[in-house]
């Protein structure tokens, strides 16, 4: 049985489904946004998809390689001591730290992105932590799905 996220999520046979699930997670999260920041996110998302329809899938696949090592310590800690909690409960309690870990990857990527994408990212970045933290429970469900419960 696989015990690390790399073994669970990044195998050649499973990765395409994980990327599909990541893309669906992003679609669901964007669709669920409301208010002024939600409008900005939806507008930026629409621009990205118009400019390059496969961008979300491509970015999900690319970022997955860097996100998994950032998530690994949280997953390993959970496996070592779940305290009777589900993975979504465990990750939800650590949403701020998980968000910081994931955003460290996207911040680094944005620093070398095309100017239009970097500008869109910088516009959304101030609210990014709360949006990522909100998505952490669903991210953990995605992990749980592939880890076998």
- CA atoms lying within 13 Å on the CB side of residue 127: 14
Q: Is 54 helix (H, G, I), strand (E, B) or coil?
A: coil
H or E element, residue 13: none
Question: 12 with 65: CB under 8 angstroms?
Answer: no
The string of pLDDT tens digits covering residues 83-117 is 889 999 999 999 999 999 999 999 998 888 889 88
Give me Rg for the CA atoms of the chain.
Answer: 15
CA distance 93 to 116: 35
- Could you tell me the residue ranges of all domains in the chain? 5-147
Q: What mean pLDDT do residues 51-77 have? A: 95
CA distance 25 to 58: 14
pTM for this prediction: 0.87
The H helix count followed by the E strand count for the chain is 7, 0
H or E element, residue 61: helix 55-80
């Amino acid at each position: 049985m696989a015990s690390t996220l790399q073994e669970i999520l990044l195998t050649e046979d499973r990765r395409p489904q994980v990327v599909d699930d990541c893309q669906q997670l992003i679609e669901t999260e964007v669709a669920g946004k409301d208010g002024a920041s939600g409008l900005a996110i939806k507008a930026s998302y629409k621009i990205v998809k118009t400019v390059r329809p496969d961008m979300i899938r491509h970015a999900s696949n690319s970022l997955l390689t860097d996100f998994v090592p950032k998530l690994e310590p949280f997953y390993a800690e959970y496996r070592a001591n779940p305290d009777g909690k589900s993975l979504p409960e465990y990750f939800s309690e650590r949403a701020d730290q998980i968000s910081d870990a994931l955003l460290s990857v996207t911040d680094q990527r944005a620093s070398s992105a095309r100017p239009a994408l970097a500008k869109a990212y910088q516009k959304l970045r101030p609210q990014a932590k709360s949006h990522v933290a909100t998505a952490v429970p669903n991210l953990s469900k995605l992990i749980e799905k592939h880890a076998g419960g």
